[in-house]
Structure 1
Amino acid sequence: MDVTAKTYPFQRHRPFDMPEEFGWLRSNAPVSQVKLASGDPAWLVTRYEDVRAALADPRFSRTINREGAARVNTGFNVGRSSPVFNFGGSISMPPGHTRWRRIVNKAFTQRQADGMRESIAAHADEVLEDLAAKGAPADLMADYAYLLPIRVICDLLGIPRDGHDEFIALASKLTRRDFKTGHAAFGEALQGIGRYAATLISRKRRNRGDDLLSTLIDLHDEDESTLTNEELVSTVILLLTAGYESTAVQFGNAFFALFHNPGQLERLKSEPELIETAVEEILRYAQMGTGFAVAKFATTDIELSGTTIPEGSTVFISLGSANRDEELFGSDSEVLDLGRRSAQRQLAFSAGPHYCLGAALARVELQEGISRLLARFPGLRPAGSLEDVVLASNLFTYYPRELMVAW
């Protein structure tokens, strides 16, 4: 298979089937050069151990918009100065990222996530009551997947009830929920959220509450320095983009995958105690990446698996391929198995210094959200053919635009 002659990202033929090129590459050329749609060459890392190593290697920079870098056509039609590519300011790269991460890690703990489990469950039950009152058929994306995470984010930030509507409207633009907001408006949405966050932070500095944002304002580093307003604003935006859209999309993809695997759906209904392992397997399997999720720039020559990636190369690190690596997940890695114990090593939350800050919270949201939905509606099923489900996409992943269900 001459993969170098094919354009990356490779074509996906079925929603959760990885393109066959990835399996071939893992076995034959785990670190390989590929061609982008722009015609420029790039490098692709596909095997689990190499992916983990690359994610932890500081010589791979997140800043890919450099002179001589490959032209990456994501289909988003944004310029090199766009916030899509340059979000984060001082917290995106070392040493600023290292300091920021050292501070905020004190707040984002498993204990903090577990402490929110009860409130997350209560939010889920409230949304499900509204869903039941609305009746079937219903859109699982609009009527559940997007509603639960944004309530959790509002709790985290201590946003008062009378501020929810404004915040949610801004969030919808940022995540393009209306599917009308152009990608060129992404920067405007970021600025709107930034202004909202700055005002919220100012209020919290004067009057702390029992919320994560108040905690972040009080946290300090080893030298007693605290997060600046700019860093706090960036943190709020990061929480929104990573904790809202990503979680909502994962809810949608979880049930889309379960509907494609009805035997596994019935298994989870009959064995609800599987939920923790099931969520790890869903995170491993139920991804439909665009191929652009983890793009890096080699700041020097770097050797991986005996292959040297030259300095100045653009490198794509495939979490999706790593999560299907037969060496770790078994010969049946291409199927969904909710009892797969090795799924605990999945890389959906990345690894290394940019490991997802809210991974523990996302796990609790998915565990409570999935289990309570199935307990409330044990007859949950797709309302119509899965073949008719239209997939939307953001920069990183595909997901159901709508997922109509009945019960």
Structure 2
Amino acid sequence: MGKYFGTDGVRGVANRELTPELVYRLGRAGAYVLTNHSEKENRERPLVLVGRDPRISGEMLESALVAGMLSIGVDVIRLGVVSTPGVAYLIRNFEASAGVMISASHNPFSDNGIKFFGPDGFKLTDSLEESIESLLMEEDQMPRPEGEGIGRVNDRPDASLKYIEYLRSTIQTDLCGMDIVVDCANGAASRLAPSLLRDLGADVTAINADPDGFNINVDCGSTHPERLRQEVLQRNAHIGLAFDGDADRLIAVDEKGEIVDGDRVLCICGSFMKEMGELKKDTIVTTVMSNIGLFKATESMGIRTEKTQVGDRYVMEAMRQGGYNLGGEQSGHIIFLDYNTTGDGMLTALQLLRVVKEKATTLNQLAQMMTQYPQIMVNVQVKDKEKWGENEAIRQEIERVEKSLGDEGRVLVRPSGTEPLIRVMAEGPDEKELESHVNAIADTIRNELS
């Protein structure tokens, strides 16, 4: 990773690491690189879309970002509060040169982030991020047009309705008769998701759908589904849907209050798509952190799984390279590549509801196609996380645990991408046995590397 860009754009505490001054420079550098890279030639000058989630720092950072872009000579459409996948879709709808989402996803309200998209609606390649980074690291010698050369800004908060109309078109099934509770995380989905589901005929109860700039992701949404579970059970609802702050993730709750995470959603939708002849190459792409139960279930269905390192960008990369159309993560970041170029919580919700409705069953019954294995993870702080792979004592301890688990479990040891940590994860049918195995490996790592 570079100085500014991490695994998902540029993030930090707003007005501390992510200052308006930095974001202004990001706006200039990003607009310069992306509009020069774009092959769009259908207008006099480049056009960039900018969206944000409702956290309080969004307007401040939006103003700085837009000012930087206008100073390069590009036109900007401000979309207002919209989801990250909404920006990805609207870039293509407007035939724009690029797009930017201002959001820190599931992070606390004090954080924020800048996420760039290319003209095709996909997140940037490493090389484009490196080009933007290099401009930030050197003296600004980018163009400064004057007079008529300065960019113009146009506010289009209504553009999100185009995205909602598009989402409606992705399923031909109405949702009449379905009682749904929606947790909008006081984020970007607050206005959009309840309206979308009601338009399709569902009876919708919306919770955490009143953003005030401070309450985004606070004890709610996809990372905190506890209240959603309570509401589903109290209302005897058919299903609960929880989004994160920028609505690119979905975690569901079934009618019995059980969590249906991204692995189960992939299993349910992948099985249905295969049955309907819609799953390309009968393959699902997911990460090494997905539950072993997903791999066992899909294997029994005749579905292949491609495993990538952790991170939705790696899932997307494998999908594009392999020609696959379904992939995602346990966290609920699911990519339906036939419909959008990034993980999309509302799109995922519709595809999941489609399966429930067309199979004329319940989400709980569908979830039984996959057995969720207990998963234990311990983080071990070390001095040098790169040395674990060459350590013989650690290797032998891992081999001992793998042999003990056999075909009924697995071990995954990997360094953190951002911290001086080694993450030790084990899965298997016996939780107490897993705890013993994970602690044994962790103790060996501490003894060898701390």
Instruction: Flag the structure with more relative contact order, 1 or 2, with Cα contacts below 8 A and sequence separation at least 6.
Output: 1
- Greater fraction strand: 2
The structure with more radius of gyration? 2
Q: Report the TM-score, using the length of structure 2 for normalisation.
A: 0.22
